[in-house]
Structure 1
Amino acid sequence: MPAPTTTLLIEGTFEELVEELATYIDNLKKAHGDEDSNIQAECTALLAENKKDDVLKKLVTGSATLNEAPEKEFIAAYNLLVHLTRQSPNLNMFLPRVCQNLSAPVRSSPANGAGLALSILSTVFNTLQPDNDNRYHVFLAILSVVRRSANFETLRPQLKHLDQWLAAWDMDEEDQRKLYLAIVEVATVAGEEEHAYQYLVRALRTIPSDELSTPESQQLSLRALKSALTHPTHFDFQDLTALDTIQALRNSHPIYFQLLEIFTADLLDDFNDFKDEHDGWIEEQELDADALNRKMRLLTLASIAASTGQTRSLPYAHIAKALQIPSSDVEMWVIDVIRAGLVEGKLSQLTQTFLIHRSTYRVFGENQWREVASRLDMWRNSLVGVLQVIQMEKASFIQMKDAENKEIEAKLNGATSGRAGGFSRLRKEEPELE
């Protein structure tokens, strides 16, 4: 049965608009088999008693059928519904249900339904005051639609405003966590693993200290840890070790925490010892063993590059031994670690060494501070030597200039004396006038 083709415009009195929308919903329901729908009559009776909020309840309850509206009428119908609900001082009562309906699939337009729903939700979001916490619920609905469509690019530009919005809405930690986790799911579905990890860490920061041992906290912590371990470009684990929720895994999941400590600061040998100690555990936890091995080799190479001290070079043989690889594969691994941004340097095939220009410390503790102090002492001594050379050259230059000035002065004095004597003789030889 074809759907009705009523055209809706947002103009007229509240009563007129209610009758128009109620009639449209009734016709739409009947077009899809609900012959008993009589929302228009019920709304008319309630309007006679001036029960506007009860009228809006009827409309909002029946508005789920608007997802069956033809594509060309969908936006107009929902705009009318939103306009009517905004006439009530109790908008909080109606908006969540409207958002829930818009989060559901638009059955009349599977291809463009997400875009239509986002258009309405964006309109609702933008018409609310910036500090209106109803925006929070609308944004959750937007996230639900984006997740269903896997169109993360629609959301990406808006995330830069998220901190500002949360501050304006004054959300508690639980609501913030709910929002962060919704973004995590959207990013995960869209394959945006880095964004998913970032907002998962944010969610962990909202867990209070008295809930660190709850199942939810442990589940989220393990999820973040697994994501960090297996993500191909994540090499810094100090953002995790700084979290109380992750530290709580030391007691609840000690093997996971041991693995985290290895990836934070240890080398490939330590990782191999871990695998021997917990044989088969990595496979049981469904972790990607190949990805872990690759990351551990890159981290090991970064560590030995940072520990070269003043020599700033690594022989190929040293790299091959540390990474437990053939010498022929050394250059490939060095190129990979440079691409990962962990080290900068230059390969010398002639000398079979890797010349290090810059290296990254995986952790910065007492030993690293000592190395920094040693380098500062070396630079200070070098600067003292340079300063001494400059002072010696300056003194030599001054002496040379003084000698040159004295020599010039002597020549000038000699020239002046010669000219004075010659002039006297000329005067004596001049004839006297009589």
Structure 2
Amino acid sequence: MIVFLNGLKQVLELRQFLKSKGAEISEEADEGGLVQDLAAIIQAMDVVWKEDEKDVESVMNSVISLLLILDPGKQEELVQSLSEKLSKTKEAAHACLRLQLLSNLFHGIEGNTVVRYAVYCSLIHLASSCGAIQQIPTELEQVRKWMSEWKLTMEQKQQLLRLLYESLVDMKKRPSKIFLSEKAEQFEAKLYSDKASKVMVELLGSYTEENASQARDDAHRCIVRALRDPTTFLFDHLVVLKPVRFLEGELIHDLLTIFVSGRLSSYMKFYSANKDFVESLGLSHQLNVSKLRLLTFMGMAVESTEIAFGTIQEELQIEEAEVEAFVIDAVRTKMVHCKIDQLQRKVIVTCSTHRTFGRQQWQQLYDCLVSWNQNLTQIRTSLLSISNS
């Protein structure tokens, strides 16, 4: 068992322990000093994974404690080496411990140094590989703050965001390790889907007109995954991203445009002409039709507060007997609020989510707020008049 000592004694203890376990390392300290000692120790530590978890933890924490006393300028290469050892070792054992050790290293390093970047990337890699991404901080607001503090280059930011995105997408596809109800599983999947979408939008938003072409594959994947996600219905935030705009004129962009503002009839025409393309993307035609029915209905609900059953049948290409069931399912998504008038065979709309939110919608919102403010002012004036009378 390793005990925490200081400086040279601690290095010698580590060297002797590793040597006793069969590592090819000298028991003598390196003349190059602590940096060279740590480099040799980290290189030789593969033998540790076969030991008892307490010994593994003791050795690793000892190495981490030595790393943290180095000047930040001397830490980077060693920290990166240790992070890779902890995150990419072939040993499947000690996954939880390795995650905890990486977390200790991450939180022990000075907060505003770029050295933390390598550790955080390793944390994501390890957490993703063992299905534990929920155990590390992944909120986009926090990640933005760190990227600013670490003064990352644009390439580093994009690498980090891409890694985080892939990990969140992978976590969304993994079955939960604990028993959850169907509703809870759907909520968890939606949570990771939303997080992944926000990260991808952040990634694509980091590109400029000059380098948007470099993100073509990312933009393509982003569109496909958004269309494939059964819980995603709004896509207008994607079309303004420069890498997505770079795809204009391609079939994938045409398909996205239909989901942004088109109707079911437009999709059916597109599918008829490009069936092989849609299937090559791994998209479900049935899911696409279901989404476009809801999106078409949302568009109709924005345009009119009363919609006849016959109009719904025609636009959504369903039978009259299916109308009520469809409306009930639409209300469950909370994208539309309405009620069914069975006697008059129509749907009464109270409100609907806008599929796109542009200048016109902002103006409508502004007008509503102005009217609301005026009404409150009138009420206040009336109340003051009554109280003074």
Q: How many residues align?
A: 352
Match of 1:52 in 2: 34
Higher relative contact order (CA 8 A, sep 6+): 2
TM-score of the superposed pair, with normalisation by structure 1:
0.75
Gaps of 5+ in 1: 1-6, 31-36, 391-434
The structure 1 residue matched to 2:76, chosen from 92, 103, 110, is: 92
SS of structure 1 residue aligned to 2:120 = helix
SS of structure 2 residue aligned to 1:227 = helix
| Compared CA separation, residues 201 and 290, structure 1 to 2 (3 A) | same
Match of 1:80 in 2: 62
Gaps of 5+ in 2: 173-191, 383-389
Q: CA RMSD in A?
A: 2.6
**Cα displacement (A) at 1:147:** 0.5
Match of 1:206 in 2: 206
State the alpha-carbon separation in 1 of the partners of residues 67 and 358 from structure 2: 59
Match of 2:344 in 1: 351
State the alpha-carbon separation in 1 of the partners of residues 331 and 125 from structure 2: 39
The structure 1 residue matched to 2:86, chosen from 95, 102, 106, is: 102
Q: Deviations over 1:356-413 (max 9, x none)?
A: 100222224677689x59x98xx99xx9xx9xxx9xxxxxxxxxxxxxxxxxxxxxxx
| Compared CA separation, residues 93 and 189, structure 1 to 2 (3 A) | same
Instruction: Determine if contact 1:345/1:356 at 8 Å carries over to the other structure.
Output: yes
Match of 2:288 in 1: 292
Q: Which amino acid aligns with 1:123?
A: N
Counterparts in 2 of 1:349-388, with a 5 A limit?
Answer: 349-364=342-357, 372=364
TM-score of the superposed pair, with normalisation by structure 2:
0.83
**Cα displacement (A) at 1:245:** 0.4
Instruction: Determine if contact 1:26/1:38 at 8 Å carries over to the other structure.
Output: yes
| Compared CA separation, residues 70 and 222, structure 1 to 2 (3 A) | same
Instruction: Determine if contact 1:345/1:358 at 8 Å carries over to the other structure.
Output: yes
State the alpha-carbon separation in 2 of the partners of residues 86 and 58 from structure 1: 17
SS of structure 2 residue aligned to 1:287 = coil
**Cα displacement (A) at 1:225:** 0.4
State the alpha-carbon separation in 2 of the partners of residues 338 and 131 from structure 1: 47
State the alpha-carbon separation in 2 of the partners of residues 157 and 164 from structure 1: 12
SS of structure 2 residue aligned to 1:329 = helix
**Percent of residue pairs identical:** 21
SS of structure 1 residue aligned to 2:21 = helix
Instruction: Determine if contact 2:224/2:281 at 8 Å carries over to the other structure.
Output: no
Match of 1:430 in 2: none
Instruction: Determine if contact 1:174/1:206 at 8 Å carries over to the other structure.
Output: no
Instruction: Determine if contact 1:63/1:98 at 8 Å carries over to the other structure.
Output: no
Q: Does 1:259 align with 2:243?
A: no
SS of structure 2 residue aligned to 1:9 = coil
| Compared CA separation, residues 175 and 50, structure 1 to 2 (3 A) | closer
Q: Which amino acid aligns with 1:238?
A: D
Q: Which entry has the higher C-alpha Rg, 1 or 2? A: 1
| Compared CA separation, residues 158 and 181, structure 1 to 2 (3 A) | same
Instruction: Determine if contact 1:67/1:101 at 8 Å carries over to the other structure.
Output: no
Q: Which amino acid aligns with 1:80?
A: S
**Cα displacement (A) at 1:64:** 3.0
Instruction: Determine if contact 1:305/1:356 at 8 Å carries over to the other structure.
Output: yes
Q: Deviations over 1:257-276 (max 9, x none)?
A: 11111111111111111122
